[in-house]
Each structure stands twice: as C-alpha cells, then as structure tokens.
Structure 1
Amino acid sequence: MKRKLGAVVVAAGKGSRMGTEESKQYLRLGNKPIIIHTLETFERMAEIDEIALVVGADDVERCRQWISEYGIRKVTSVVAGGNERQHSVYKGLAQLDVEYVLIHDGVRPFVRMDHARACFDEAVRSGAAVLAVPVKDTIKQVNESGVIQTTPDRRSLWAIQTPQAFRHSVVLAAHEQARKDGFIGTDDSMLVERLGIPVTVVEGDYTNIKITTPEDLDFAALLLKKRGEER
C-alpha cells in the first residue's frame, strides 16, 4: 500500500542574486543551514511519510551528513538535480511512492505547518492546490519599451508560493508531458494546468518568503528571532 503523503524539497539551484560564493540554501540562518530549517518543518508534520531532497551534484554528500547530524529521519533520498528546477522536481518525484505530494522550495524555511496541511487537504479534495497570497501592490503590464500597456484588477492577482500539493500521479504525468513537449514552466502548477486540470489557491502567509537576496536573508533573521520569542 502506498504511503499517503510525501514531499519533494528542491534545493539544487545556485542563485546569483545573493552575491555569495555559497549557494543560498546552505547559508546559515541562526545556527543552522537554511535547508535544514526547511526540512525540519516537514519533519514535524505528522502527515508526511517521506521526503525526497534534490540538491546539486556536488552537495549530495554534505546534505546527507547534515540530515544525519540534525536527526531528520523522513528524508528517504538525497538526489542530484537537473539543469532546470523542473528537471530537479521530476527527479524528486521519481523517488517517492505516495498518493499525494507536496513540492516545496528549499529556500522557503518559514512556511507554516497549518498552511502546508491546508494545501494538502485541498489537493485531496480537488486534486491540485497551491499556497498563495493576494498581491498588495498595483501591477502593471509593461512592453519592451517600458510603456504601461494594461493595469490588471488587483483583486484577481495572487502571488504563488510553495508548497504546491498534487495527487502524485497527476503531477508526474504533467512533468512527463512537459518533457515530451520540451516545455519549461515557471512552477509545477503551470504544468498541471497544461493538462486542463484546475488548480485551487489556498491562502498562505506573507512571511513564507523565498530567500534569494541579501535583503531576504536580513528579513529571515528577524523572522527567526520573532519565532524564537513567540515560543
């Protein structure tokens, strides 16, 4: 019998916007690497049975060592990723034998467990769901010359986050179809949408930030301190 829920945590990117030699997911936040903070959140989720971690080929061994050092038991595989995030996710999906899967960015260490759980619950109900937050700012569509073309209604715009939750067979089929078509999407829900499958938005939290720049890292340190004070 398949396990109910697994997670693919993707941390194979290098990232240049952080301006550091070390990849952003391995930078220290508090007293441990960012990727460990992320994994610990999913480790604590009782619903999750197994985790596939996807990292750069040169980082597999040290991540295995950290997983052992920090006592993360649910990681059942650490695999090298591909050239694109999409390829890395596919490699992670191939490691799991579960009914449902959460796909999450390794550099989003502040996702709340109740929000990840709500995303999973919605995927069970409807087949596919993503965490997202309403856009706060006015958004303009601009042409190549920098001239505003349209102003979309902000009430219909959401900023998409992770985790994204799917029936495993559905998202795997979506990835396989994208590979067949040579299509690269910006997130996993985009691949599922291509199959004509509706994806439901579950409201998340603005603190579920993706750490990509030095400013993000500074904000993350403040969030970590606040969480410590609230415990």
Structure 2
Amino acid sequence: MSHYSFILLSGGIGKRMQLNIPKQFLLLAGKPIFIHVLEKIDVIEEIREIIIPCPQDFVEKTMETIQEYGISKPIRCINGGESRQESVYNGLKEASFDHVIIHEAVRPFVSREAFKALMETDNENAIYGLDIPFTVLKGKHVIEENLERDQLVNVQLPHKYSTKKLLYAHECAREDKLEFTEDASLFFHYYKSDIQILQGSEYNIKITKPIDRKIAEAIYRESILMEGY
C-alpha cells in the first residue's frame, strides 16, 4: 500500500466573493467548506499527512478550526504563496512521502470513493476531468482559432503525482519564470509524459463566486441522500 502526502490548497482570500475572510471559511450546511474535505480525508488510511498552504494571517485560525472539528491526521498549516503555483510549491517542499494528492479547499463535494479511485489507478500521475459540453473558441477581441471540444478537458481536482517529479517540475517553472493555472499543465510541460484522466463529476464544483454558494447548498441537500458523501 502506497502512502500519500495530501496538500489542501487554501490560499484564496475571497476577492471574487467580495469577502474579508478566505472563502474556505464560509459555512456550508453549518460547517466551514474545507472541513467537509478534511472529514473525508481523515478516514483514508493511505493518506498519512495533510499540508495546508493558507494565507499567513489565517494559519492560526485554520488550525483552531481543525481542532474544533476533531480531525485526527497529522496536519501542518504553512504560509501559502502569492499564487496558486507558489502555494503548491511550498506544500511540496514539506511533503514527507513519495506520492502526493493535491486538492482545493473549496471543492467540498469530492467523495471518498474519488480519492480511493485516484490512488488505485496504475499511473502514478492522474487527474480528474470532464468533457466540455459547449463550444470553445480561441481569441480575445476577435476569433483566432476553432478548437475541437472533443479534444479538450475541463480539469478538476483532486490530482495525484510523484512528489519528486512534481517538485522538480515546479523548480523548473520557477527558474523559467513560467506560471501555470494548475499542476497537470505544469507537469506535462516539462515531462510530456502520460497523465491519466479519470472521469470527473459535475457535482465536484469549485466555490469561487457568490452564485456558487447557492449552487453548493442545492448540491449539499441532494448529496446527503447520496451514498458516500
């Protein structure tokens, strides 16, 4: 059985939500969004540690909240970076195990089964993704190129990687001064190797805008009736 470090990205500061607190502290069904994720992780034996990059001013509050909800796995809260990429890099430097799973604190509807399936896939580097059900064109003010949507994927988390390989790719990106929006594109840029794509879930939304809170409450009401939530 492989053992994993788990990086829970909690670096957001709630700008798009127009909040004065990080959005992971917003309540969903009476508890902070990120606690919903941690409660699922807490019962997965293969995950041996949790690393949470978060805003420096909220490190103490994050740990206090975790203790309040009785999460038992070893957890370290560290300072997040100025960007998502830097927060992942900071987390990777703290990881103790050969394999790492990365997830976002504001994706509370991921299931325990999704984490287990990710760990059980043979490829050491794997992500979740969804087909894109709408037309996508390249361009800003004018159309520059048609894109074939059946060749595109909507990237979801969680991801899993070789810790050593992903850390090296991040170090290369820092040296090259390249910025990526998530880790699969960064990893592929440097290795050009296979990253397995598992079928994602439409319920696994990322809560970033005010409308997402309303959608999340509706999903929660439905998900409590679903096995595995």
1:199 paired with 2:195, answer yes
The alpha-carbon distance between structure 1 residues 26 and 204, as it changes in their structure 2 partners (threshold 3 A), is: same
Q: Which residue of 1 aligns with 2:209?
A: 213
TM-score (norm 2): 0.92
Q: Which residue of 2 aligns with 1:135?
A: 132
1:183 paired with 2:178, answer yes
Letter in 2 for 1:166: Y
Q: Does the CA-based 8 Å contact 1:3-1:49 persist in structure 2?
A: no
Q: Does the CA-based 8 Å contact 1:3-1:97 persist in structure 2?
A: no
SS of the counterpart of 1:44? coil
Q: Which residue of 1 aligns with 2:223?
A: 227
CA drift at 1:23: 1.9
Query: For residues 215 and 152 of structure 1, what CA distance do their matches in structure 2 show?
Result: 28
Q: Which residue of 2 aligns with 1:10?
A: 9
CA drift at 1:3: 6.8
Could you give the per-residue CA deviations for residues 77-120 of structure 1, whole angstroms, max 9, x where no partner exists? 11111111111111111222112110111110111222222222
Aligned residue pairs, count: 226
Pairs within 5 Å for 1:77-226: 77-122=76-121, 125-142=122-139, 144-145=140-141, 147-196=142-191, 197-226=193-222
Query: For residues 60 and 14 of structure 1, what CA distance do their matches in structure 2 show?
Result: 13
Could you give the per-residue CA deviations for residues 20-43 of structure 1, whole angstroms, max 9, x where no partner exists? 222211111111111111221211
TM-score (norm 1): 0.91
Q: Which residue of 1 aligns with 2:68?
A: 69
Query: For residues 3 and 82 of structure 1, what CA distance do their matches in structure 2 show?
Result: 28
Q: Does the CA-based 8 Å contact 1:41-1:109 persist in structure 2?
A: no
Using the aligned pairs only, state the percent identity: 32
Moved over 6 A (4+): none
Q: Does the CA-based 8 Å contact 2:14-2:21 persist in structure 1?
A: no
Deviates further, 191-200 or 208-217: 191-200
Query: For residues 159 and 52 of structure 2, what CA distance do their matches in structure 1 show?
Result: 15
Letter in 2 for 1:211: I
Query: For residues 75 and 9 of structure 1, what CA distance do their matches in structure 2 show?
Result: 13
Q: Does the CA-based 8 Å contact 1:53-1:75 persist in structure 2?
A: no
Letter in 2 for 1:195: Y
Deviates further, 163-172 or 194-203: 194-203
